[in-house]
Chain A
Amino acid sequence: MSKERIKIAPEMFDIMPPEYQDLVQRATYGNETRGWKDIGTSKELIEEHSLCAGCPESMAFRYILASLPAPEDTVMVGSTGCTSLVFPHVGVHNIHSLFGNQNAIASGLKRALTVRFPDRVKDVVVLAGDGATVDIGLDMTLQAWFRQEKFTTICFDNELYANTGGQESGLMQKGFVAKMAPVGKTFEKVRLPEIARESGCHYVVNCTVSKPNLVEKVIKNAIHVAREIGPTYLQLYTPCILEIGKNSMEGLQEMRDSEKPAERFSYKEYVSDQAKELLTELAAKEKERKAAAKKQLAGQA
C-alpha cells in the first residue's frame, strides 16, 4: 500500500487546495517506518484543529496520527466529545458514532473489513473521551473486550466532561471539584486499566502524552497486538487545561506532574503472554530491519 490510492487526477491537481496537494506529495502514507519524528518534516495527517490553544489532546492527536502503522488502511471510530471536533480535520478514514457506542460500531466495522478485504490488514482504532468510554459507553467498551474484538481502544482521559462545562465523570479523581460538580467527587477514579486487563485486553497502558516517543511505542504495540491477538486498551491523560484552571502553556507540566511515581498516571503496562511473544518477535524484526538499513547506508557511503 502506498500513495497510489490517493492520486489526484493530473488535470485537477493545480486547482486542488494546497493541503491536499501536500497530503499526496508529502504525507507519510505507506511509509513503514513512520513515527512522531516525521512531525515537522512531512505533511501531518491532521490539518488545523479546533481545540483550545495549548490543549494536550491536540498533542496526543498529532503523535497518534504520526504513529499509526498504516494510516491508509486504518479506520478510526470517534465519539461525542472534544475529539469529535478534530476528526473532520484528519486525513484518516473515520466514523463518528453515537455517544458511547463506539466500541460496538468498531466491532461490526472490524468484522466487516475482515470479510471485505481478506487479503489486506485493516486496523480499527477507537478514540473517545472518558465520558464515552467509561460512563455512557462502558457496556459497549466491556462487551467488545469480552468478545475479544480485534481492535484498539484509546481513551483520552481528561477526568471530566470538558466540552459541556466540567461535569463529573467516572474517571475523575476522588475529591475533585469541577465547575459543574461543586460538591466534589465522592468516590474513587474508576480503575479501567485493571478492568481492561481482567476483561481480556492483551495490552493495556496507562500514561500521559508528555513523551512523544512513548506514545509512538504504545500506539504501535497496541495496534500490532490488536491485529494479531485481541483487544488492546490505552488510557492517555490529556488534561483539560480550562477545566482544571491552568493556562495554555501549562498542559505539558500538568502531565509531567501527574506521571511521577505514585501519581495516578505513572506509567503502567500490562502485556499478556501471547502479546509479549508477538512484541518480542516484532522487536527482533525491527532490529534486523535497522541493521540492514545501516548496512545498506554504509555500503552506499
Chain B
Amino acid sequence: MSSVYQVLPGPEHFLPPAAASMGVRLPDSGQAHIHGKIVNEEEAMEVAARQFLAAKVPTIFPGPLVLWAWNEKAAKKATAIRHLYETLKECVAPSQEAMLIPMPDYRPKYPKINPEVEINPNHPNLTIWHNKIDTCMFVGVHCHQANLSLKIIRGGTYCYTIAMCAQAGHEDAMLSFRDATADKIMRLADWVKRLKGSVKPPQD
C-alpha cells in the first residue's frame, strides 16, 4: 500500500491522525523511513545528521529504557547516546545549542513539569516550546509513549522528530530508524562528525 500522506513537521493542529491510519508503513530490517517513505538506513543516517547540524536546538530525549542501567545493552546504549550528544556539541556552531533532556518516566505530573530538566509524554510540547527545540531524537522510550509524544509534537510544534527505535520503528516520527543498537547510535555520531562544517547553521 502506498501512501500520499507525509509525516512532516507541524503544527498539524489539534488531532493529527496516526500515520499508520494514513497508510504509512514501517521499514523492514536495514531500512528506515523519512516522512513515511521507506529508504535505505544509510540514507536516513545522513539525513538525520544533517537535520541535527541544521537545527538551532538539536536535542536528544533518552527514555527510561536507556536512562536506567537495567542490563548491559541499556548501559552500552547510554554510553553511545552520551557520545552522540558530546559529538553534537562539538560539531555545531556557537549559535546552536545541543541538548540532552531525559524522559525519566511517563506519569502525569502535577501541578507541572520542569521543562528545563525533563520531558513528559503527556505534554512533550511544553519542553519543546520552552527550550525552542527544532529537532529532536527519541531513544529508549517505550513504543506507546513515544507514539503519543510524537503525535502531540507533530500536532502542536514545528519540531522535526527522529525516532531511534529498538523495535520496528515509528510511523509518527518524521524520520525513524529501527532495531537500534549502541553501534547504530555510534554510527549516527560518526555521520554527524563527517558532515561537520558542510551544513549551514540556521540563520536568525
Contacts and interface: CB of A to CB of B under 8 A. Distances in A.
A200 B75 CA distance: 48
Interface size class of B (residues with CB under 8 A): 20 to 34
Contact of A17 (B75, B108, B117): B117
B14 interface: no
Nearest to B110: A50
A165 B29 CA distance: 55
Contacts of A18: 117
Dominant SS among interface residues on chain B = loop
A218 B70 CA distance: 34
Interface string A1-39: 000011111111001111010000000000000000000
Nearest to A90: B107
A11 B82 contact: yes
Given A16-B102, A17-B114, A11 B78 contact: yes
Contacts of B81: 11-12
Contacts of A81: none
A15 B85 CA distance: 12
A7 to B, nearest CB: 5
Contacts of A184: none
Dominant SS among interface residues on chain A = helix
Interface string A75-117: 0000000000100110000000000000000000000000000
Contact of B67 (A5, A12, A50, A88): A12
B78 A9 contact: yes
B123 to A, nearest CB: 14
Interface in B70-125: 70, 74-75, 78-79, 81-82, 100-102, 104, 107-111, 114, 117-118
Interface of B: 62, 66-70, 74-75, 78-79, 81-82, 100-102, 104, 107-111, 114, 117-118
16 contacts: A7-B69, A8-B68, A9-B66, A9-B79, A10-B78, A11-B78, A12-B62, A12-B82, A12-B102, A15-B100, A15-B102, A15-B117, A17-B114, A17-B117, A50-B110, A88-B107
